[in-house]
């Protein structure tokens, strides 16, 4: 980095050209170097793959442009030429050579996400970290968490302490009028296991046992009860004074004071101290002007005692409230710690690392290694670092990079050249704190409070807004400067004042429209939907294309509401909801078919398939009854689909055959392509059976989606978080009513507590509620910090939303309620003082839509890609040798083999009717004689196995593959349940390797049988391979 300090910090507000600056500085380093491959010494880090692709493309495009002869070079070319003091022809030749070298050495072009770099680092040090060299990175944290929850629940009934904790948690949910089913709640509370801002506190919990949590919980309850008794004593003391002095409630102003005391004395602690008289009892009016003088004198004489008792009561209430919240926190903490243990065990068994663990592993194990040793192991020595979106960097991510960067900044290479660091960020766009981002780091580096290197930084502020038209830039400057004082933190106030002084670019004009609507909860169509449609229609009439318009909302619920409404009004929309695989009728048809094949609610799924195949309008009652009555024959006759054969196939084959036979992909269908890809991905990690995939589908159906198509003439509908870094000609922002620092959505924070008082716990997790702030100065500091951070989060989301527009910004919100602190109140407070505000219409309009600046008529150049079928027409084990190098195919073959054996064993109730299984196998035309012989031998090995033989006796009552419906409606289907001497034994057949999941599954069967009143004596897992192996649980 030429000129000035080698450590540069850029404060880049929205639209200020940070990518341009990053590209310029990168080009200056590689074009100013004498090295043949200077890019090998550069590491550029950002946070998303999309940002990586954009930065790489910008660098490559610039090098290509530089290498071309032109009479009018770009401003970037001129700036680099001047800064490097290179003649244009010399710069052109250098760019041409470097582009060629870079493309031939593309793997050394290190523009990367920070997670990818961390992965590379951990993979390099896998042996030192005692990790398997082939460890897998699990990106799907939800899947890991659900598996961990299932493992915890599978221990219910076996571990007495854990069982009690789960029951208490369930009862607590019922007391709060929620469902007793705690699976979802466990998943919700378990999400903090993957959040870096909770990691340190969770590590401090260590390996605490359930008994330790219980002991601490009981101790807190005892102290809480003591403070409750103290409150009653204080209330009774004042009430006794009233009685002793012959005072009655009517003697006090509106009886507020004695009524409050009586409520506390009755141990009703649902109270608060918000009333004005409670905040200053010493000076409050306790009686009316008409009260007799004698009574006035009596009350005034007792006032000091009343005040002393009241203050003691208030102090006791503060402690009681905090302890009550702490008491309620111990149960979730207990279960979180159990989930944490099971998560670690699961990862160990399956050789997995979660991506969220990378930063902690590097911090503990790698960061303190000698820097030359780290570089040697990496195979590269980086001298120049670029970090984009620094405000989203977590504390650990930054701390892990500091030693590497310090080595570059403070040392010299062989040519006695120092390294460099360029940080780019904007605290006003820090909207990922929930993901671990710590914007305060950027603030502290900028103001000099944090100085991690010997080299002092140069600080730059990118002052121009190159994105938006002048009206939008000037409005945002004025608006955000005006509302800055609403922030509770003075430093954040200054940040918003200084950061909103952007200079407009030459693009003059533009429009800002803020519309206030009256709330109408009874309206058939939400007023914000109507207003959004109105603004879209105006823009289209003005000459804009649908693709020029983006609608931004705060959450997915609002996105779904708008997507449904706009679609009904024939407005083409691309939204995250519309891109979900579950929104495809064809995908849903395959899912219905799969559920039908597993025997789950067959009538319902058969009807859904009929509706798809025939169209709901063409079905009458008689047709439905007729086709449902002979549904399998209908499928066989009309579509050549034999469900009896199909149900033994793997998920991939079922999907492929359904797509072909039902002609689901007559036209290009991206949803089906992505759906089949998701099956491939599933098969890589799990058994490829239909039932297993359906479990996966239920877990992932709200996330599995196709990639957003580019250049589609449709309104884009997305959340503000997804819009970060993007720009759109016109932005509409409805539902701009977010309450700032909403107490109902308060985050969990860890508050410091006395370890002696709390039985060895140094901190407790609880909601950031103002009622906890008075407990201690330390708790107050934690609460205040969270409050200020939450306010900044909400301001930043509003800032990001209002800085995406290029030509027109439209904001829609409700008329704010008095004393509210929301986006609507901030907008109302500002625009209400502007001359352009029309109070009667609740409308503020500034500027006009630019003329002649709308996009050219949209031309859809999308090309359809035909679906390629790969369905097998005949099942045979001979395929295995042909695909032995393909683990996915081998897994599918193993699953098919297991399913055929399952079907044969399902025909056998006892040893006398083995012939039924033999006959069934002989009837399978897709099997060769050798394969039939193989299966018959396997059947014999099972029924004559020493452990299993008693369960094939004639005296046994047997359920083979019988559906069992749980109280929640979930259907279970154990392979075999045997009743002997009024006791049940569950048997489940498995192929493949031993897995913890198999034990969890058979345990769930045993539990549901227990709920039905049966005594389950044993659960036996039968692993069928060349030899029969049994596991008795």
Residue list, annotated binding site for ATP:
12-19
> What CA–CA distance (Å, rounded) separates 281 from 872?
84
Q: Where are the extended beta strands (E) located within 720-832?
A: 728-733, 748-752, 763-767, 805-814
Indicate the helix (H) or strand (E) that contains 464: strand 464-465
What is the DSSP track for 360-389? HHIIIIITTS-HHHHHHHHT----EEEESS
> Which string of DSSP letters, residue by residue, matches 584-627?
-HHHHHHHHHHHHHHTSSHHHHHHHHHHHHH-GGG--HHHHHHH
177: left (phi over 0), alpha (psi -120 to 50) or beta: left
> How would you classify the pairing of strands 837-838 and 843-848?
antiparallel
Q: Which DSSP string do the residues of 933-999 spell out, in sequence order?
A: HHHHHHHHHHHT-TTTGGGGSTT-EEEES--EE-TTS-EE--SEEEEETTEEEEEEEE-SS--HHHH
Nearest Cα to Cα of residue 766 among 162, 356, 331: 331
Q: Which residues fall in the annotated binding site?
A: 12-19
Rounded CA separation 238/308 (Å): 9
Could you tell me if 738 and 719 are in contact, meaning their C-beta atoms sit under 8 angstroms apart?
A: no
Annotate 389-407 with three-state secondary structure.
CHHHCCHHHHHHHHHHHHH
- Cβ-contact 651, 679 below 8 angstroms: yes
Structural contact between residues 427 and 442, judged by C-beta atoms closer than 8 angstroms: yes
Write the DSSP assignment of 488-521 as a string of letters. S-HHHHHHHHHTT-PEE-S---EEEEEEEE---T
Measured in whole angstroms, how far is the alpha carbon of residue 29 from the centre of its chain? 38
Judge whether 960 and 926 are in contact, CB under 8 Å: no
Q: What is residue 574's three-state secondary structure?
A: strand
How far is CA 400 from its chain centroid? 24
Q: Map tokens 């149960």 to a residue.
A: 331
Which residue has tokens 């970090």?
Answer: 387
1000 close to 1006: Cβ distance less than 8 angstroms: no
User: What is the spatial order of strands in the sheet that 983-990 belongs to?
Assistant: 957-960, 976-980, 983-990, 1015-1024, 1028-1032
Residue 234 near residue 316 (C-beta atoms within 8 A) = yes
């Amino acid at each position: 980095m030429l000129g000035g300090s080698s450590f540069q910090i850029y404060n880049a507000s929205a639209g200020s050209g940070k990518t341009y600056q990053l590209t310029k500085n990168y080009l200056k380093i590689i074009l100013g170097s004498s090295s043949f491959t200077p890019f090998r010494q550069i590491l550029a880090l950002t946070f998303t793959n999309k940002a990586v692709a954009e930065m790489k493309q910008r660098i490559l495009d610039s090098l290509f442009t530089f290498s071309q002869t032109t009479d009018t070079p770009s401003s970037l070319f001129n700036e680099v030429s001047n800064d490097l003091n290179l003649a244009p022809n010399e710069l052109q030749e250098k760019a041409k050579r470097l582009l060629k070298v870079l493309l031939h050495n593309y793997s050394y072009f290190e523009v990367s996400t920070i997670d990818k770099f961390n992965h590379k680092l951990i993979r390099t040090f896998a042996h030192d970290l005692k990790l398997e060299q082939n460890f897998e990175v699990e990106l799907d944290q939800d899947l890991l968490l659900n598996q961990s929850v299932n493992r915890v629940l599978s221990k219910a009934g076996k571990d007495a302490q854990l069982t009690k904790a789960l029951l208490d948690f369930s009862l607590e949910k019922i007391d709060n009028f929620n469902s007793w089913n705690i699976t979802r709640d466990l998943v919700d509370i378990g999400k903090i296991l993957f959040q870096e801002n909770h990691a340190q506190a969770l590590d401090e919990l260590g390996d605490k046992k359930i008994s330790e949590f219980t002991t601490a919980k009981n101790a807190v309850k005892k102290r809480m009860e003591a403070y409750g008794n103290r409150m009653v004593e204080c209330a009774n003391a004042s009430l006794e004074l009233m009685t002793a002095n012959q005072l009655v409630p009517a003697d006090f102003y509106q009886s507020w004071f004695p009524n409050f005391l009586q409520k506390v004395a009755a141990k009703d602690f649902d109270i608060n101290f918000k009333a004005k008289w409670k905040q200053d009892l010493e000076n409050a009016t306790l009686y009316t002007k008409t009260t007799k003088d004698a009574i006035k004198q009596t009350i005034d004489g007792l006032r000091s005692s009343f005040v002393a008792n009241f203050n003691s009561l208030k102090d006791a209430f503060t402690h009681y409230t905090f302890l009550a919240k702490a008491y309620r926190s111990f149960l979730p903490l207990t279960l979180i710690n159990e989930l944490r243990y099971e998560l670690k065990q699961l990862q160990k068994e399956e050789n997995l690392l979660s991506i969220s663990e990378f930063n902690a592993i590097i911090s503990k194990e790698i960061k303190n290694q000698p820097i030359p040793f780290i570089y040697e192991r990496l195979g590269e020595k980086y001298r120049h670092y670029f970090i984009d979106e620094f405000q989203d960097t977590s504390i650990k991510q930054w701390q892990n990079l500091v030693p590497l960067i310090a080595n570059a900044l403070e040392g010299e290479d062989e040519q006695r050249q120092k390294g460099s660091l360029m940080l780019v960020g904007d605290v006003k766009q820090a909207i990922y704190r929930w993901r671990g981002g710590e914007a305060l780091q950027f603030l502290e580096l900028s103001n000099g409070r944090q100085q991690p290197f010997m080299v002092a930084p140069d600080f730059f502020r990118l002052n121009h807004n190159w994105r938006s038209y002048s009206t939008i830039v000037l409005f945002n400057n004025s608006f955000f400067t005006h509302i800055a004082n609403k922030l509770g933190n003075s430093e954040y106030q200054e940040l918003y004042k200084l950061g909103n002084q952007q200079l407009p670019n030459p693009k003059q004009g533009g429009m800002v429209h803020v519309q206030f609507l009256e709330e109408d909860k009874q309206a058939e169509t939400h007023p914000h939907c109507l207003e959004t449609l109105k603004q879209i229609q105006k823009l289209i009439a003005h000459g804009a294309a649908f693709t020029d318009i983006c609608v931004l909302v705060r959450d997915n619920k609002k996105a779904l509401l708008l997507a449904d409404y706009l679609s009904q009004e024939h407005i083409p929309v691309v939204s995250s909801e519309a891109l979900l695989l579950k929104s495809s009728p064809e995908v849903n048809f395959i899912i219905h078919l799969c559920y039908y094949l597993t025997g789950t609610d067959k009538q319902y799924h058969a009807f859904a398939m009929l509706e798809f195949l025939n169209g709901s309008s063409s079905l009458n009652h008689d047709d439905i009854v007729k086709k449902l009555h002979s549904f399998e024959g209908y499928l066989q006759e009309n579509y050549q689909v034999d469900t009896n054969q199909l149900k033994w196939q793997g998920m991939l084959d079922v999907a492929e055959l359904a797509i072909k036979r039902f002609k689901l992909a007559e036209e290009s269908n991206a949803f089906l392509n992505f759906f089949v890809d998701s099956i491939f991905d599933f098969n890589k990690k799990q058994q490829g059976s239909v039932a297993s995939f359906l479990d996966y589908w239920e877990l992932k159906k709200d996330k599995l989606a196709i990639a957003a198509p580019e250049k589609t003439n449709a309104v884009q509908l997305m959340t503000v978080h997804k819009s970060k870094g993007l720009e759109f000609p016109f932005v509409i922002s409805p539902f701009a009513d977010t309450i700032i620092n909403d107490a109902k959505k308060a985050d969990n924070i860890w508050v410091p507590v006395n370890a002696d008082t709390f039985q060895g716990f140094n901190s407790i997790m609880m909601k950031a509620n103002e009622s906890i702030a008075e407990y201690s100065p330390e708790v107050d500091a934690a609460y205040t910090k969270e409050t200020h951070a939450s306010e900044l989060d909400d301001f930043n989301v509003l800032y990001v939303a209002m800085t995406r527009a290029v030509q027109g910004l439209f904001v829609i919100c409700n008329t704010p309620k008095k004393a509210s602190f929301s986006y609507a109140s901030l907008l109302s407070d500002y625009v209400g003082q502007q001359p352009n505000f029309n109070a009667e219409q609740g409308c503020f309009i500034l500027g006009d839509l630019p003329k002649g600046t709308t996009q050219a008529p949209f031309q859809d150049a999308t090309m359809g890609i035909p679906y390629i079928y790969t369905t097998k027409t005949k099942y045979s084990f001979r395929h295995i040798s042909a695909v032995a190098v393909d683990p996915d195919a081998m897994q599918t073959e193993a699953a098919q083999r297991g399913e055929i054996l399952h079907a044969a064993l399902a025909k056998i109730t006892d040893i006398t009717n083995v012939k039924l299984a033999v006959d069934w196998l002989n009837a399978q035309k897709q099997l060769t004689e050798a394969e039939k012989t193989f299966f018959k031998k396997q059947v014999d090995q099972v029924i004559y196995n020493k452990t299993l033989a008693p369960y094939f006796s004639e005296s046994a009552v047997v359920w083979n593959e019988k559906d069992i419906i749980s109280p929640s409606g979930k259907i279970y289907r154990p392979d075999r349940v045997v009743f002997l001497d009024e006791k049940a034994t569950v048997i489940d057949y498995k192929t493949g390797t031993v897995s913890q999941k198999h034990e969890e599954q058979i345990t769930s069967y045993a539990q549901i049988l227990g709920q039905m009143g049966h005594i389950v004596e044993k659960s036996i897992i039968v692993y069928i391979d060349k030899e029969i192996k049994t596991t008795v649980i």
